[in-house]
Amino acid sequence: MDDLSPVWSAIELGWNFSQKKFPEMDSDYSISRVSVEHRGAYEIMGETGQREAALDTRLRDSATTQLDYPAVGDWVIHSKNAQHDRRVLITEILQRDSIIIRRAPKQEPIPQVVATNVDILGIVTSADQPLDERRLERYLVTAFSSRVVPVVIVNKSDLKGTVERADYFRTQYPKIQVLETCGIHGSEALGIQEITGDGLTVALTGSSGVGKSTLVNRLLGEDIVRTGEVRADGTGRHTTVRRQMFVLDAGGVVIDTPGLRELQLWGGSGLNLVFPEISEFVDLCRFSDCSHNEEPECAVLEALSSGQISEPRVNAYRDLSHDLKELRTQIEIYERSKRHRRDARP
C-alpha cells in the first residue's frame, strides 16, 4: 500500500456511533466500506486506505442471491494483506441497516441492490424534465420499503417551473421534505447540506440529466464526478455509469447513482405510506384481497365515486399492487424451477 494514500475513520465513512458500536477486529482483518462495485470487483475505503477488493471464496460459494453479495454502502470485513493481484479479500458483510432494492431489469424476477446502509434517499427531479408522478411514486415506495427516508430534491432552481413543482410535491406529500437546489449557480446547492452530515449516508437517485452528479460535485467542492450535457430532447447522456460513494469534508457520505431507465418495485411494504389517502379505505373493503376493480362493497371504489380520492392515484395504487402480486407469483415459479433444476442434477 502507498503510505501517502489517505485513510478514513469509521465516523468519516458514515458510521453512526450513537446507534451502535464499531466492531473490533483482530490484527489480520479490518473493516472498510464498499465505495464502488463493478462486475464482482470492489473498491473499499477504510482505516487501511482505499483498496481494491475481491470476494473470499467461502463468501462467494455461500452466496445464493444477489442480496448475498457486497454492494455500495456495505461495511465489510476484509483481510489486511493483499493477494498477488493487489486485492484484499472480503470475508464478511456486516449486518445492513437498510437495503435499497429494485427489481433487476431482466426477465427473471431477481433483485438488484442499489445501495445499502443508506439513511436518506434523495429523489432528484428538475423542471426541464416532464413531471412523472407514477415514477416518483415508485421511488417513494422503494424508499419506504427499504426503511430509508425519502427527500424530494427539485434541482435546477434557476429554471422556470421549479417553485410550482416543489409546491406540488409539498401539497401531495405534506410529510416528505422537499428541497429546491441549484447545482450550477450561487450557494443554493448547499440546501442539500441540510440532509448531509456526520453519521449520515445520502444516496441520490432520479432520471439521467437532472443534475445528481453536479450536486455531488458541489458537495465535494470540486469536479470529481463527470457530468453530462442534456440533449435537446431533455434526456441526459448516461455519463454516470456506476454507483459510487464519496466522503464529504463537512461530514457524512453521498452515493451517486446512474439514472435508472426504469424503476421496478421489489418490495411493497411502503405502498400504504405513499398512498395514505387510499390505504385508509382499503381496510374497509368487504374482501381482504379486494383488487378494487369491480368487487362489491369496495370502499376504495366508493370513495372514488364520491370524489374523496383521485382516479389517477387509485389507478396507480392498483397498478403497483397488481405488479407486486404478479412479482410474488413470478418469484414462486422461478424459485420452484430453480429447485427442480438443482434436484435434477445427477
Residues at the site binding Mg ion, with contacts judged by CB under 5 A: 212-213, 240
How many CB atoms neighbour CB 256 within 10 A?
Answer: 24
Residue number, 86 or 226, with CB nearest to ligand GDP: 226
* 223, 86 Cβ separation under 8 angstroms: no
Among Mg ion, ligand GDP, none, partner that 85 touches (CB below 5 to 8 angstroms by kind)? none
Give the torsion sign (CA, 81, 91, 67, 147): negative
Residue with cell 424476477: 109
196 binds, among ligand GDP, Mg ion, none (CB under 5 to 8 A by kind): none
Q: ∠ CA(245), CA(251), CA(253), 5° rounding?
A: 15
Cβ closest to ligand GDP, residue 20 vs residue 238: 238
Residue 236 interacting partner from Mg ion, ligand GDP, none (CB closer than 5 to 8 Å by kind):
ligand GDP
Instruction: Find the shortest distance in angstroms from Cβ 265 to ligand GDP.
Output: 22
Please say which residue, 111 or 258, places its beta carbon nearer to Mg ion: 258
When the beta carbons of 146 and 181 are compared against ligand GDP, the nearer one is 181
Q: Which does 3 bind (CB under 5 to 8 A by kind): Mg ion, ligand GDP, none?
A: none
Distance between CA atoms of residues 300 and 146, nearest Å: 26
C-alpha closest to that of 254 among 208, 219, 302, 294: 219
Let me know how long the chain is.
Answer: 346
Least distance in angstroms from the C-beta of 168 to ligand GDP: 19
Contact by Cβ (8 Å): 202, 196: yes
Q: Which three cell numbers stand for residue 47?
A: 482505516
- Region label for 147, one of left (φ > 0), alpha (ψ between -120 and 50) or beta (otherwise): left
Q: What is the spatial distance between Cα 271 and Cα 319, in angstroms, rounded to a whole number?
A: 11
156 binds, among ligand GDP, Mg ion, none (CB under 5 to 8 A by kind): ligand GDP
The residue number with the shortest CB distance to ligand GDP is 183
- Report what 214 binds from ligand GDP, Mg ion, none; CB cut-off 5-8 Å by kind: ligand GDP
Q: How far apart, in whole angstroms, are the C-alpha atoms of residue 167 and residue 94?
A: 40
Q: Which is nearer to ligand GDP, 159 or 250 (CB)?
A: 159
- DSSP H or E stretch at residue 328: helix 311-344
CB atoms within 10 A of CB 181: 24
193 or 279, CB closer to ligand GDP? 193
Smallest distance from the beta carbon of 11 to Mg ion, in angstroms? 27
Minimum CB separation of residue 122 from ligand GDP in Å reads: 11
Q: Which is nearer to ligand GDP, 88 or 153 (CB)?
A: 153
Interaction site with ligand GDP (CB under 6 A): 155-156, 158-159, 182-184, 208-214, 227-230, 236, 239-240, 259
- Binding partner of 87, given ligand GDP, Mg ion, none, CB within 5-8 angstroms per partner class: none
